[in-house]
């Protein structure tokens, strides 16, 4: 896979696909980690006198403009971090984008509005998606993919445009794939995986692949309740969105393979996230009816910490509880301290986990690598082909569509 160092971009219009899908609360950016992660590539292209046309998605709008998902606050933050003025187009391939690109000069940047405001971006119809890709490709001479968090999607700006233009990967994708290779090739052992957070249905498939590689898999967060329920234990009103039959299969596979799949021994429970009464710590097999799991307990935090202290490699994806609420941040904080204190290679994966460690006062430099890709990292570790990476690895097109 070529990088931007292999391309002559001087004076060229470069369509740069970024992942600027940052959390926005009440119109303000809650965590700008993904914006900061793209800066090395953006700055390198600008320094080399490329005319940069940046694009990204934000959230999941319904294929039409929606002010709640506008990239306007992202454009403002990106300009501030770059320390220079930049243009912002109010559309993706319409008159606003055409005018902004026409006025763009080498060494300057324009950001297009949310790609997902156009239904062609995410369409499963190849022709519809290809038509949008043709319109995007017509804006530029070269395509650079650097939105690692989206490379597992077969979307127009991720996959199809790279098949229409000379292309290369940005520095972020290069960094992300190099870090993931440390989790798949010549892994330093013991290899400890920590999984938690919500979106359990999306994360369960990777458990099977990790059981083939890891020495210990530590399960917390909402994923833990799925495994507890799979064992027939009561979980009260806790979140359950995973396949309990699959969870039972993973427990059996772990036992057969000699891999330690560790579930919490104690948990913090309350009637709801908003319950202001004292938090109760209960055994994992004694969750009361009408109560929900909102964090791991202190005994579990100590147990997880002891395994992490001995690890040669750590991959962590998913908070241990509802870290946004201080009363339920204990488990995530304990795991973060243990991972940050490890002498082995450590990778923190997933937007929620990255946001959690920053909110709890950790710097990215406290870990070996803080990934911008949640689903992309997990699918890479599953061994799946990621469309965005496959497109960047392919040869340049013989001809570019008109």
pLDDT at 401 over 60: no
What is the per-residue pLDDT across 234-265, written as a single tens digit (0 to 9) for each?
A: 999 998 877 888 889 999 999 988 889 999 99
- Predicted local confidence at residue 402, as pLDDT: 39
Q: Nearest-CA neighbor of 36 among 391, 401, 354, 323?
A: 354
Question: In the chain, pLDDT over 90 holds for what percent of residues?
Answer: 84
pLDDT at 281 over 80: yes
3-state secondary structure of 315: strand
Fold type of domain 4-174 = Rossmann fold (3.40.50)
Domain boundaries, given as residue ranges, for the chain:
4-174, 182-382
Mean pLDDT of 84-95: 96
3-state secondary structure of 256: helix
- Least-confidence region, from 228-242, 326-340, 357-371: 228-242
3-state secondary structure of 100: helix
Contacts 24+ apart (CB under 8 A), 345-348: 345/182, 345/188, 345/312, 345/313, 345/314, 346/313, 346/314, 346/316, 347/179, 347/180, 347/182, 347/183, 347/314, 347/315, 347/316, 347/371, 348/316, 348/317
Give the confidence band of 167 by pLDDT, cuts at 50, 70, 90: very high
Mean pLDDT of 162-171: 98
Mean pLDDT of 10-21: 98
Give the confidence band of 133 by pLDDT, cuts at 50, 70, 90: very high
The CATH class for the domain spanning 182-382 reads alpha beta
Q: Nearest-CA neighbor of 153 among 189, 112, 115, 180?
A: 115
Give the confidence band of 399 by pLDDT, cuts at 50, 70, 90: low
- Least-confidence region, from 200-214, 325-339, 378-392: 200-214
- Least-confidence region, from 41-45, 250-254, 348-352, 386-390: 348-352
- Predicted local confidence at residue 33, as pLDDT: 93
Mean pLDDT of 114-137: 98
Phi, psi of 172 (to 5 degrees): -65, -45
The residues, any chain, with a CB within 8 Å of residue 314's CB and separated by 6 or more, are 191, 192, 193, 194, 308, 339, 342, 344, 345, 346, 347
Question: In the chain, pLDDT over 70 holds for what percent of residues?
Answer: 99
Give the confidence band of 74 by pLDDT, cuts at 50, 70, 90: very high
Residue 16 CB neighbours (<10 A): 25
pTM for the predicted model, two decimal places: 0.91
- Predicted local confidence at residue 138, as pLDDT: 97
Mean pLDDT of 163-178: 97
Mean pLDDT of 189-198: 93
Tell me, yes or no, if the two domains 4-174 and 182-382 fold the same way: yes
- Predicted local confidence at residue 398, as pLDDT: 61
């Amino acid at each position: 896979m070529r990088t931007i160092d292999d391309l002559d971009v001087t004076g060229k219009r470069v369509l740069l696909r970024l992942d600027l899908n940052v959390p926005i609360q009440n119109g303000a950016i809650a965590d700008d980690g993904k914006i900061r992660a793209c800066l090395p590539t953006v700055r390198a292209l600008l320094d080399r006198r490329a005319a940069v046309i940046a694009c990204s998605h934000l959230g999941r709008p319904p294929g039409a403009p929606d002010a709640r998902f506008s990239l306007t606050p992202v454009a403002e933050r990106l300009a501030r971090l770059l320390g220079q003025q930049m243009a912002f187009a109010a559309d993706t391939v319409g008159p606003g984008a055409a005018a902004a690109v026409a006025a763009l000069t080498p060494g300057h940047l324009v950001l297009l509005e949310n790609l997902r405001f156009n239904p062609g971006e995410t369409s499963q119809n190849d022709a519809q998606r290809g038509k949008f890709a043709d319109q995007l490709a017509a804006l530029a001479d070269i395509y650079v993919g650097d939105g690692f968090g989206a490379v597992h999607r077969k979307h127009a700006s991720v996959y199809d445009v790279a098949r229409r233009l000379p292309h290369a990967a940005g520095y972020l994708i290069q960094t992300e794939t190099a870090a993931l290779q440390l989790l798949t090739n010549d892994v330093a052992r013991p290899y400890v995986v920590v999984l938690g957070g919500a979106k359990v249905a999306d994360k369960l498939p990777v458990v099977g692949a990790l059981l083939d590689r890891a020495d210990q898999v530590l399960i917390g967060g909402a994923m833990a309740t799925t495994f507890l329920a799979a064992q027939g234990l009561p979980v009260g009103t806790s979140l359950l969105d995973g396949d309990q039959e699959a969870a039972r299969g993973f427990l059996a596979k772990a036992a057969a393979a000699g891999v330690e799949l560790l579930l919490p021994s104690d948990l913090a429970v309350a009637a709801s996230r908003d319950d202001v009464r004292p938090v109760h710590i209960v055994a994992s097999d004694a969750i009361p009816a009408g109560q929900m799991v909102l964090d791991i307990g202190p005994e579990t935090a100590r147990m997880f910490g002891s395994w992490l202290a001995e690890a040669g490699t750590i991959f962590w994806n998913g908070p241990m509880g509802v870290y946004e609420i201080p009363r339920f941040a204990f488990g995530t904080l304990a795991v973060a301290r243990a991972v940050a204190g490890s002498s082995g290679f450590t990778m923190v994966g997933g937007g929620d986990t990255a946001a959690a460690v920053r909110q709890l006062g950790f710097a990215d430099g406290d870990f070996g690598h803080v990934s911008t890709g949640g689903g992309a990292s997990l699918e890479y570790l599953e061994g799946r082909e990621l469309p965005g990476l496959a497109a960047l690895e392919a040869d340049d097109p013989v001809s570019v569509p008109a």
